[in-house]
Structure 1
Amino acid sequence: MMMAVGVAERTGLLETAVKATIARAPARLLPYVVAFVACQGHVMSDIAILVIPPLAALAFKAAGRNPVAGLVGAFACVCAGYSAGFTVGALDALYAGITEKVAAALPMGQEAPTHLLVNYFFTASASVVLALIGGFLTARVLEPRLPEPTGDGSSGDEESPTTEISKEQRRGLLLSAAAVGVYTAVVLVVWLLPGSPLRGEGGALIPSPVLSGIVPLLFGAFVIAGVVYGVAARTVTHKNDVPKMMGESITSMSGYIVLILVIAQFIAVFNWSNVGTLLAVKCAALLESAGLTGFLALVLFVLVVTLLNMLISSGSALWSLMAPVFVPTFMLIGMSPALTLAAFRIADSATQMITPLNPYLFLSLALMRRYEPGAQLGTLMSRLAIYVVPFLVAWLAVLGIFYAFDLPLGPGAGIEMP
């Protein structure tokens, strides 16, 4: 997934798509469009935090609005919606991989779906709600209280970003969208055909090889989109460019690879020693004795992880610590791994924007000082704080609806254990 997304990123496709979406938004709807795009940003990994907020500031400035509002609002929505969205990225693959290994520690976990799209319906729905709330808070709460910017937004030592799109980029964007549309149509047709090898046992659509093999299918979609765009926009000019881009993507993942090595050993020791199972049984018994076996248990879990998220800013590191205990715990009281992962996504996102351990917080402060030279860290954090509680409540409300009506969190992934 990282190689495929890397092709789309390094050819310029993802950045151009963000520019095209934000730049075309009417001034009145701009906060909501920025919030929606920001909530899809995790497909770009951490690059989203580097690209979307400064572009949002430029779009606000071009529309005659306060650029600081665009910058702060976009940063808040990228962080709070980092685990949400209609898009699928490397983060989803990482979370699904950890969840699958942990769930397998219990025999019952081998029957629970833990594929890449296990939370897709939930995250897609949440991104719409978060975008509406984020746009409202930016336009009606944050922007009216901001002082007029005294800076012009230029850094003085580097070329400033722009929202302009060239003819080649626009043509590449249209052609890549058409290519992905054709690719998707072919996959769907083959999947729906009777007797297709993409169907599951007995001709079932769910579960089927489409879901278990969603990573290679998405790999193909991202690579096709990136290559088509790159050729049209002339960012791919040689046959070796695409493999080179994939290699650069893996190089940038060196820190994650080291982290995953440690995580793999941690989970393996937990499974080998049965400490994880022991803790899960004890925690499940404690929850049952306290009467916390329903949605309230999930809320308590979210609040605990939200506090830990202030100390451990890496979502993958935090999930690797929490999953070996809480995934089996909630499985023992009848909740699916998909539900536990959905609850973790909420906690991992809600307070990410205000933790001092988030290095991108200081980057956003540097960007804000281009428009407001006297701004301090406390200034930025106080403006971001207005988003935390509404976003946390909104996330929990969406999960509560899925829980109350027993809606699937993703294809074939329900609330309860199979």
Structure 2
Amino acid sequence: MTEPNLQHEGTEKKSLFMRFLDGVEKVGNKLPHPFILFVYLALTVIVVSAIVSVFGVSVVHPGTQEEMAIRSLLSGEGLRYIIDSMLDNFTGFAPLGLVLVMMLGIGLAQKVGLIQAFMRKSIINAPPALVTYAVLFAGVIGNLASDAAFIIVPPLAAMVFYGLGRHPLAGLAAGFAGAGAGFTANIFIAGTDALLSGISTEVAQTIDPNMVVTPVDNWFFMIFSVVMLMVVGAFVTEKIIEPKLGKYEGDAEKRLEKVTDEENRGLRNALITGLIYIGLIMLALLPENAPLRGEDGGIVPSPFLSGIIPIILFFFISVAIAYGMTVGKIKGTKDIPNYMAEAMKDMSAYIVLIFAAAQFIAYFNWSNLGIWIAVNSAEFLQNANLTGIYVIVGFTLLTAVLNMFIFSGSAQWALMAPIFIPMFMLLDYNPAYVQLAYRLGDSATNIITPLNPYMLVVLAFMRDYDKKAGFGTLFAMMLPYALFFLGFWIVIFIAWTLLGLPIGPGVEMYINQ
């Protein structure tokens, strides 16, 4: 790998924005690991609950009208709760089971090479006029493979652009924008949907015990978001980034690895298997009195929606097996659980993080600090007439800023949800709607935060084509994507709300219409 040209970067006077990014990086680097951060937060809740409880502070629960006093976690009752609940807080944490089950299927598809082959074929076989759209589409859809899209799509896109005589860094930027800023969107239900909805449900039930946020509650908006990201991303790439970069004068030698005949057969068989599976699900859903319909014959609610996770799980298992057997990755039944086990190894860091996050949320809820903050915050916003769509847009912007300091989407949501979901629920917002507002801000700035660990990986890819490229080059390329994506997302979010469109099956803006 080429060494960075420090002299080149240091001789240019830094702009105000670059100095701002340097400050963000400096502050962010001082933050502890997310696991340790949640340990500190849990300890803070313990101490604060003890201090506040001394003053006899209480709050009336808006749902039950029960007066709830702040409970001290340093009391005898609190210490017993900490010890007795630790295991249940972890094993009963809703996102844990949802995400692990999803990753059994998606992880299998990734380990046999299905998702990687699909992304390569989507980009390589696209007509030249549609290559930019194909790159962005592959990047966005690539979040099915979680962070793997950051490593697969940008260098592949750069090679495609290079082969077409276009600037390779423009292709790399488009691929990184799709995989990073488009991380939350998809036409499929992905692990992100399961993870965030699990946290949302866990928190929302502190206000309404019957409230459930399902993985499909943001689906309609996210499907539309894929189209928006492709169109806006292509505009930024072709009208802003490529003119800025100019003609590529480098001498990089990159050879594009095409999809093999065997992989093509695997993709074909996976497609056939997927269509058969979807057909069977439709037979169990569409006819009158079908088993996947609800008791009243409707789809919202229904066993189809409540059981969407196992339905998606078996879809990915089916197509992954079809592909794996075709390309020779699966030679016997024992290979299937072995690949699943490998996928679970990749989830070890997530499991460790969830243990600490689950304790923090549980302590926050048990102490009643969460409901106390939510009620008082909601009353403040109402008294100041700060309600409506623009308050939640402000929440999206706040999320975008905080994402510059906390890169992990699940960690940030576990931190913000206990405060903002109850607060907005008391203002009659559906928690799924609040979750959607969070996802837009969290996703858009993924590509400009210095805390993104894949920044270094993408920078290394950049230096294959431009030995002088540094962080300034990368930030300058990615900032237009972040701003345009966030801006268009907010505009669409407002329009979606004003038109009263559902953001998912049966999910409107407010709980009570």
Q: Same fold (TM over 0.5)?
A: yes
Note if 1:67 corresponds to 2:168: yes
CA drift of 1:153 comes to 5.3
For 1:202 and 1:77, locate their aligned partners in 2 and report how far apart those are by CA, in whole Å.
41
Three-state SS of the structure 1 residue aligned to 2:128 is coil
The structure 2 residue matched to 1:114, chosen from 213, 216, 225, is 213
**Partners of 2:119 and 2:142 within 8 A in 1:** no
CA drift of 1:37 comes to 2.1
**Partners of 2:168 and 2:465 within 8 A in 1:** yes
For 2:294 and 2:478, locate their aligned partners in 1 and report how far apart those are by CA, in whole Å.
46
For 2:388 and 2:307, locate their aligned partners in 1 and report how far apart those are by CA, in whole Å.
32
Three-state SS of the structure 1 residue aligned to 2:412 is helix
**Partners of 1:23 and 1:163 within 8 A in 2:** no
Residues 95-114 of structure 1 correspond to what in structure 2 (within 5 A)?
95-107=196-208, 110-111=210-211, 113-114=212-213
Equivalence for 1:406: 500
Three-state SS of the structure 2 residue aligned to 1:94 is helix
Residues 195-206 of structure 1 correspond to what in structure 2 (within 5 A)?
195-206=289-300
For 2:301 and 2:307, locate their aligned partners in 1 and report how far apart those are by CA, in whole Å.
11
For 1:106 and 1:151, locate their aligned partners in 2 and report how far apart those are by CA, in whole Å.
61
CA drift of 1:171 comes to 0.7
Equivalence for 1:144: 243
The one-letter code of the counterpart of 1:152 is: A
Equivalence for 1:311: 405
CA drift of 1:338 comes to 0.9
CA drift of 1:151 comes to 4.3
How high is the TM-score relative to the length of structure 1?
A: 0.95
Equivalence for 2:48: none
Residues 175-194 of structure 1 correspond to what in structure 2 (within 5 A)?
175-194=269-288
Three-state SS of the structure 1 residue aligned to 2:289 is coil
Residues 83-94 of structure 1 correspond to what in structure 2 (within 5 A)?
83-94=184-195
For 2:383 and 2:393, locate their aligned partners in 1 and report how far apart those are by CA, in whole Å.
17
Equivalence for 1:267: 361
Note if 1:19 corresponds to 2:113: no
Residues 198-256 of structure 1: per-residue CA shift (max 9 Å, x gap) = 22122221101111110100000001010000111112122211101100111110000
CA drift of 1:149 comes to 4.6
For 1:179 and 1:13, locate their aligned partners in 2 and report how far apart those are by CA, in whole Å.
13
CA drift of 1:40 comes to 1.9
For 2:360 and 2:143, locate their aligned partners in 1 and report how far apart those are by CA, in whole Å.
26
**Partners of 1:125 and 1:398 within 8 A in 2:** no
For 2:257 and 2:435, locate their aligned partners in 1 and report how far apart those are by CA, in whole Å.
36
For 1:240 and 1:54, locate their aligned partners in 2 and report how far apart those are by CA, in whole Å.
33
**Partners of 1:8 and 1:222 within 8 A in 2:** yes
**Partners of 1:69 and 1:138 within 8 A in 2:** yes
Note if 1:42 corresponds to 2:143: yes
Number of positions where the alignment pairs a residue of Structure 1 with one of Structure 2? 410
**Partners of 1:2 and 1:249 within 8 A in 2:** yes
CA drift of 1:276 comes to 0.9
Residues 351-400 of structure 1: per-residue CA shift (max 9 Å, x gap) = 11111111101110000000111111111111111112111111111211
For 1:174 and 1:226, locate their aligned partners in 2 and report how far apart those are by CA, in whole Å.
12
**Partners of 1:59 and 1:163 within 8 A in 2:** no
For 2:314 and 2:274, locate their aligned partners in 1 and report how far apart those are by CA, in whole Å.
9
Note if 1:124 corresponds to 2:218: no
CA drift of 1:285 comes to 1.0
Q: Give aligned-pair identity as a percent.
A: 39
The one-letter code of the counterpart of 1:130 is: L
Residues 45-66 of structure 1: per-residue CA shift (max 9 Å, x gap) = 0001111111111111122211
Residues 98-130 of structure 1: per-residue CA shift (max 9 Å, x gap) = 0110110012x624x411111000111111111
For 2:475 and 2:489, locate their aligned partners in 1 and report how far apart those are by CA, in whole Å.
21
Equivalence for 1:157: none
For 1:293 and 1:16, locate their aligned partners in 2 and report how far apart those are by CA, in whole Å.
47
**Partners of 2:285 and 2:304 within 8 A in 1:** yes
Residues 47-58 of structure 1 correspond to what in structure 2 (within 5 A)?
47-58=148-159
For 2:258 and 2:129, locate their aligned partners in 1 and report how far apart those are by CA, in whole Å.
20
For 1:205 and 1:391, locate their aligned partners in 2 and report how far apart those are by CA, in whole Å.
33
The one-letter code of the counterpart of 1:389 is: L
For 1:274 and 1:413, locate their aligned partners in 2 and report how far apart those are by CA, in whole Å.
28
How high is the TM-score relative to the length of structure 2?
A: 0.78
Note if 1:249 corresponds to 2:343: yes
The one-letter code of the counterpart of 1:30 is: V
Three-state SS of the structure 2 residue aligned to 1:29 is helix
Equivalence for 1:229: 323
The structure 1 residue matched to 2:442, chosen from 341, 344, 348, is 348
Note if 1:287 corresponds to 2:386: no
For 1:18 and 1:163, locate their aligned partners in 2 and report how far apart those are by CA, in whole Å.
12
Q: Cα gap change, 1:289/1:248 in structure 2, threshold over 3 Å: closer, same or farther?
A: same
For 1:341 and 1:16, locate their aligned partners in 2 and report how far apart those are by CA, in whole Å.
32
The structure 2 residue matched to 1:207, chosen from 298, 301, 308, is 301
**Partners of 2:115 and 2:142 within 8 A in 1:** no
